[in-house]
Amino acid sequence: MNDGQLLRYSRHILLEEIGIVGQQRLVDGRALVIGAGGLGSPAALYLASAGVGRLTVADGDTVDLTNLQRQILHTDQRVGQPKAQSARIALNGVNPEVRVREVASRVAGDELAELVADADVVLDCSDNFATRHAVNRACVERRKPLVSGAAIGFAGQLAVFDSRRADAPCYHCLFPEGEDVEEIRCAVMGVFAPLTGIIGSMQAAEAIKLLVGCGEVSEGRLWLLDGLAMEWRSVRFARDPRCPVCVTGPAD
């Protein structure tokens, strides 16, 4: 790190748990943020301000006036622009040191697999089950840690899946695909603006801890926030021995 970086990141370097070594890991780190909406906005902003060296932001949407109530990466002036482009402008405005790659498409298939392979940590900030399951499969295949967040109405969720660990559960173990889950979208249901800030910031916190290698990430635990009561509860979960995504061999 140069003098400018040492100064910029001094409040992290002061932390015993991060220090110069941890900050260098962030500067050398690569994060993939899927979705530049309510969750992706605070998550990407904290990753950039904290100095994660390479950030890829993938989002196929354009900025809409209804996004601005919570999606703090975007501005009134950038309504109509691709969200990935608007995100890059905002992130480099905070920290020009960060190399931001904008992917202005709804990633899937080979493109998603390549982006995941090129990341040290993946943040799922998307808003639909198809993307969530595709991101999970790619993370399990490439053994990349996945920080998953969700927010709807006043309800928030956070979970970390670290498939680098041999017996780690995956997103599919917790939310099996094809089960009769109703997809509820913010466009229909509404969402409490600061809730996306709380959950997205927690995703950034877990991702930064994973990159630095400090503390403990809340793996194997689903965190549920009731934003009206401001109450947290957590549920432990384990690998589903019949999971078609993360269990390759036959169960005993």
Chain positions contacting Zn ion, by CB under 5 A: 170, 172-173, 243, 245-246
Q: Which is nearer to Zn ion, 61 or 141 (CB)?
A: 141
Q: Which is nearer to Zn ion, 138 or 170 (CB)?
A: 170
Closest CA to 51 of 31, 37, 75, 65: 31
Q: Which is nearer to Zn ion, 8 or 239 (CB)?
A: 239
> 239 with 169: CB under 8 angstroms?
yes
Strands (E), the chain: 30-34, 54-58, 99-103, 121-124, 145-152, 155-162, 221-226, 231-236
> 92 with 98: CB under 8 angstroms?
yes
102: amino acid identity, one letter: E
Q: Which is nearer to Zn ion, 67 or 163 (CB)?
A: 163
| 186 labelled catalytic | yes
Give the nearest distance from C-beta 237 to Zn ion in angstroms: 10
Give the nearest distance from C-beta 148 to Zn ion in angstroms: 13
CA-CA distance, 156 to 226, in Å (whole number)?
7
Give the nearest distance from C-beta 176 to Zn ion in angstroms: 9
- Bridge partners for 105 per DSSP: none
Strand order in the sheet with 99-103: 99-103, 54-58, 30-34, 121-124, 145-152, 155-162, 221-226, 231-236
Q: Which is nearer to Zn ion, 185 or 242 (CB)?
A: 242
Give the nearest distance from C-beta 248 to Zn ion in angstroms: 10
Give the nearest distance from C-beta 173 to Zn ion in angstroms: 4
- Catalytic: which of 186, 214, 243, 246? 186
CA-CA distance, 20 to 208, in Å (whole number)?
14
| Helix runs in 143-192, H state only | 171-174, 186-189
Q: Which residues are catalytic?
A: 186
